[in-house]
Structure 1
């Protein structure tokens, strides 16, 4: 799956001229690093699959996995958190539909957030596990902002309608409140470009309050990673929240689409911290050293489905991994059924109806120390 690449003259100059690594062409490994994972259908206690949840993002809460639906999901799945038991891929609960704080109701973005927001990715705040962050992507389906709000939030540095960072607050008894919202601002020098459906799709948060954001593509067609520091005063204003660029090493591509569709953090036994990025189109994990001391690794992943006695384990044509999170010594991955391509996987007659229902799968992948060497 990995194609031989060469360093461009530009990339060599960038490396030589700057102490912080920038986007470079990363040479493929000389040995095959491909990992294999077998997915299980996520089902409820009655054995029914999740119907068209368009799962986006994955976090851990109390040893359980939690995901969210985006705006293209069935209406019954939206504006909720869905909890999955990793031991058996059972959907154990779905929250009530989100409620809204007074500050969100008074914001410029309430109409969009309360109707059909395109919520992408999740990140738990390590300092307060009752706080989860999500982010919006495509808002083209919503109405325009009011003239006052449009004037206030027009300098996004990216899309016409701002990318929104949203704070969710767990209220207990299956209740979740959309508690706060701030629009993100990208510096023009980042050249993010105006791509409403190719925005932020990955979130993960470090213990110091650094929130990492994975962008699908910029104006040059390259994936990017940005950061926002969420301190005690972050939600005290509704002004733009400017993002920063940490300058971590990412692969660079000369053609095609190679988005980041999920992010996770992992700290090794040696107390080294890495970002794990889901490169959906490439079926790869990117292992990124946040200190920029180690070269980024690209780990190809072969996705299979447990087809049971009827079909055994068979390879997926299009898995479209979307969310990932580390729980103990396992990386858990959830896919986002891509309607355009999902039926290409239906080679097992027993599973055809599941693909027709756009049902997701849960994939376990044991962590390997070699990824972080």
Structure 2
């Protein structure tokens, strides 16, 4: 009798449990933010690609894209601004070699700037479109400064030879002058480290004169973003320009190299301001809240090369994006051909010569408001 009673109770409990509504927790899959951009070769009117320009920055002026060459480029490409028509992917114009103001000629840095300066990144001053800023990186090849200059500029907080912020001024004849220069100083507490070829690679400027500077890596191997306030008196001195660090929520890494190689600035429809950073090694676009309240959103980017009569569209093995700028509703990205890895991209033999010539590509990517939405 006891066994029957226990069995009856057990059955009633089981039936009751089955009749109760169960709460089911559904965990949504992580959103795939990956985007694909299809690049085209930058060519001149004759159809020839750009030969080894080592493109190192991108800005927009009057609807045209402007880039610059670094010290690794072919000598014919250096110390010039190169203008690209984004509608045709054509090289529209290259300026004459930069001229130099009296101020720059009399500075401690003229010999370096007049030779093969390692110019990285570009930023247009939104208050004066005739003013463009660039910055130098590796200056170890230039030799020592004079004793007087070395003594004045030895406390860089980073490399032995200081990084230089350079003001370029577009002249009436559409040529360009290096009109001012100031060395950059990093406070010792920032622990930037002495990495001559891993310095400032990104620049962009806000309408209030805040110039953001993207550093490839610091002593701990982390990418950093610093800032300078460029006011009306900024260029009145040749003393160090000491950077400060805005409170941004950048990714942190336990290992590997994760450099920032380009910066752009965007105000979204929600009114918030964001930095867009080119994370070259990661093939990612970083969306960084300038207010520092939101964590950085990381957008994986796949770089394809447009197909042609002789080639089908294919994905690059190593794109090495270097400069980026927003024009209208499009983010434009230019790559910096990395000689060590560039031939790994040869999927179609018809493009082999382009890679051997270290020719860059231009990649359009539609801006997505989802990048700027809070999760």
- For normalisation by structure 2, the TM-score amounts to 0.91
Aligned to 1:58: 58
Instruction: After superposing the two structures, state which structure 1 stretch, 266-275 or 180-189, moved more.
Output: 266-275
| C-alpha contact (below 8 Å) 2:96/2:176 kept by paired residues | yes
2:95 matches 1:102: no
Aligned to 2:195: 195
**Shift, 1:296, TM fit:** 1.1
**Shift, 1:88, TM fit:** 1.3
**Shift, 1:32, TM fit:** 1.3
**Shift, 1:281, TM fit:** 0.2
CA distance in 2, matches of 1:274, 1:120: 21
Aligned to 1:253: 253
Could you give the per-residue CA deviations for residues 67-87 of structure 1, whole angstroms, max 9, x where no partner exists? 000000000000000000001
Q: Which has the higher contact order (CA 8 A, sep 6+)?
A: 1
Point out the structure with max Rg over C-alpha: 2
Could you give the per-residue CA deviations for residues 245-298 of structure 1, whole angstroms, max 9, x where no partner exists? 002011111111000000000111232110000000000000000011222100
CA distance in 1, matches of 2:172, 2:53: 23
SS of alignment partner, residue 158 of structure 2:
coil
Aligned to 1:275: 275
CA distance in 1, matches of 2:106, 2:360: 35
SS of alignment partner, residue 50 of structure 1:
coil
Structure 2 counterparts to residues 1-373 of structure 1, below 5 A: 30-373=30-373
CA distance in 2, matches of 1:343, 1:314: 14
Could you give the per-residue CA deviations for residues 138-170 of structure 1, whole angstroms, max 9, x where no partner exists? 001101000000000000000000000000000
SS of alignment partner, residue 71 of structure 2:
coil
CA distance in 2, matches of 1:307, 1:101: 46
**Shift, 1:345, TM fit:** 0.2
SS of alignment partner, residue 340 of structure 2:
coil
CA distance in 2, matches of 1:113, 1:54: 17
**Shift, 1:208, TM fit:** 0.2
Gaps of 5+ in 2: 1-28
- For normalisation by structure 1, the TM-score amounts to 0.92
Gaps of 5+ in 1: 1-28
Could you give the per-residue CA deviations for residues 307-358 of structure 1, whole angstroms, max 9, x where no partner exists? 3122221000000000000001000000000000000001101100000000
Could you give the per-residue CA deviations for residues 106-145 of structure 1, whole angstroms, max 9, x where no partner exists? 0000000000000000000000000000000000110100
Could you give the per-residue CA deviations for residues 173-210 of structure 1, whole angstroms, max 9, x where no partner exists? 23100000000000000000000000000000000000
| C-alpha contact (below 8 Å) 2:49/2:359 kept by paired residues | yes
Aligned to 1:8: none
